[in-house]
Structure formats: C-alpha cells, structure tokens
C-alpha cells in the first residue's frame, strides 16, 4: 500500500509493508517521526506508533465509525480495566448512550492466530465490562459475538451490527 507521509516541509511517498486486512480500504493520516511510522488515531486525537496491532486497531476504529455508524464520542480506545485484580487494557469499547459498555473489541496483530486462548482473553475482559457484544480480530479473521448472560454463552454473528441495532 502506498501512503503519503508528512515530514517537516517535505512530502514523500513511502511503501509500507503492511498486510492487507479484511476491512474496507480507509485513508489514514501518517507521519514518519524519529525513523518510525506513526498513524493518527481519531479517537485519542494524537499520532500513535504504527505497529501491526495498531494497524488492525485503526482499521477496526474506522470500520466502526464509517460503516457501523458509531458516534466517535461513544468510542473508547486503550483504556485500563482491572481483571482478576490485574491491570489490563482493552483495545476498543463502544459505550451506549447511557454510558454503559455496549461492545468490547480486542485487536491482535495479523501474525497472531485467533485461537481459543486468544478468544478467551476477550471473553475474560468482557466478564468485567459486561458488554452485550464483543469482537476479536487480527484483521484477517473477525469474530463478533452477542452475549447471552442469562444462559452464560455467546452467539456468533455474521457481521458487526450497526450502532442503532445494538441493544443494551
């Protein structure tokens, strides 16, 4: 993929060796700083270091904002939570208009397979947040589940629902 990178007073085109993900194509603001690639996060409103996991996270964020119609003000990115008395950080969380977590998203680098262990990590985080939906993705595989707390199980969905169809 070719991206424009902005350096002080110079615009250059650089070829990035990033994996094509199973998301639509999005345009991202990117810069090179201290010989490292940085990508602009529209939720945190700052440039963050571009890693394979961040590449996936920014695609998920763009997908949620642009195709699932999630209001930007209801998205949280990389916030800290406590899981079994340990500090952990979730990747993406959509909050309902009532302020309660609605969807938890966990992102992995494309090189990380979505195994049952990786899937269980997202499920454990969701035990704390109690979001009705959770997503786990490495950008190549995207799994979205709706929680059934009453029966202590989750149901796999064919696609991520649009925001207006998500229920608390």
How far apart (Å, rounded) are the C-alpha atoms in residues 109 and 101?
Answer: 24
pLDDT above 70 (res 131): yes
pLDDT above 50 (res 15): no
**Residue 97, C-beta contacts closer than 8 angstroms, at least 6 positions apart:** 74
CATH class for the region spanning 51-165: alpha beta
**Residues 14, 42, 108: CA angle, nearest 5 degrees:** 70
Question: 56 or 82: which carries more pLDDT confidence?
Answer: 56
pLDDT digits (tens, 9 = 90+) for 21-77: 999 999 999 999 989 999 999 999 999 999 999 999 999 999 999 999 999 999 999
- Given this model, what pLDDT does residue 6 score? 45
- Given this model, what pLDDT does residue 154 score? 85
- Given this model, what pLDDT does residue 83 score? 55
pLDDT digits (tens, 9 = 90+) for 96-110: 999 888 999 999 999
Structure tokens at 160: 């991520």
Arithmetic mean of pLDDT, 118-126: 77
CB distance 40 to 28 below 8 Å: yes
Note the Cα 93 to chain centre separation in Å: 8
> pTM of the entire structure?
0.85
User: Percent of the chain, pLDDT > 70?
Assistant: 85
Arithmetic mean of pLDDT, 146-150: 87
CA distances from 90 to 33, 81, 108 (A): 26, 7, 11
């Amino acid at each position: 993929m070719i991206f424009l990178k902005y350096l002080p007073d110079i615009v250059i085109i650089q070829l990035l060796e990033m994996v094509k993900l199973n998301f639509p194509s999005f345009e991202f603001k990117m810069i090179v700083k201290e010989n490292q690639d940085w990508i602009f996060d529209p939720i945190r409103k700052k440039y963050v270091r571009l890693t394979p996991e961040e590449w996936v996270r920014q695609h998920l964020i763009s997908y949620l904002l642009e195709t699932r119609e999630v209001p930007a003000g209801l998205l949280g990115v990389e916030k800290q939570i406590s899981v079994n008395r340990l500090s952990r950080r979730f990747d993406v969380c959509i909050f309902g208009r009532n302020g309660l977590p609605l969807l938890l998203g966990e992102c992995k680098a494309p090189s990380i397979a979505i195994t049952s262990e990786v899937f269980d990590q997202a499920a454990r985080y969701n035990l704390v947040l109690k979001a009705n939906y959770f997503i786990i993705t490495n950008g190549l595989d995207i799994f979205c589940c709706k929680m059934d707390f009453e029966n202590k199980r989750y149901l796999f969905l064919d696609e991520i629902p649009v925001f207006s169809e998500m229920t608390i």
